[in-house]
Amino acid sequence: MSLLPGNPLLLYVTDPMCAWCYGFTPVIRRLNALWFGRLTVQVLVGGLNPYAHDPLSAPERDKLAVNWHRSQRKSLLPFDYSFFLQKDAQYDTEPACRALLTVRHLRPGLSLEVLRALHSAFFADGLDLSNTRVLVEVLRPFGIPENLFLAVFETDEIYRQTQEEFQLVEQMGVSTLPSVYLDHAQGPRLISRGFCELPELEERLLQALQIPY
């Protein structure tokens, strides 16, 4: 048996357009700050609803709206519900995931901050994250040059890598977003599935760190 390393890698499986992830990302950011130097957080794009090109049906809208309301009650974060007033609203999360993966390649240290900004842009400001111009504007304050971002974001390679990451997440057995895993040579260990508060997440993490492989 081998113990987990002293500076473990935490895998945060998320999606910029996932309401529960929007509520949970502040928890991950606080954990990352509290454990600075003792823990590394890597963001994985889970693909909540990628490649969706048809407008949402009425039942899909209702289910999604209820999900947003529940997340808002739990997280106390602002939500803009104008999305549901759009006649032909689509819910394709692939472009936002690809943008986040692009940032992870270009500026890996900014992944969590950019994720937070994408969450806020979609849920609080009601912006369309399937629009490349919107993505560029969200990233502008982070100092990532537009031409550099687009040079990666629009390549066949980043499309392929995004799809492969969706597949990787599926192979990991992720069934709920957000989910948190501890990485290890013998396979990721599930720490948290769904939303939880910081004390609970820390307790689960400490318990996992004490369990030998």
Residue 195, token pair as written in the block? 């939303």
| Per-residue pLDDT tens digits for 6-20 | 688 999 999 999 999
| Per-residue pLDDT tens digits for 133-180 | 999 999 999 999 999 999 999 999 999 999 999 999 999 999 999 999
- What pTM was computed for the model? 0.94
* Alpha helix segments (H runs only) across the chain: 19-34, 58-75, 94-106, 111-119, 132-139, 146-153, 156-171, 198-209
pLDDT at residue 213, as a whole number: 53
What are the structural domains of the chain?
9-209 (3.40.30.10)
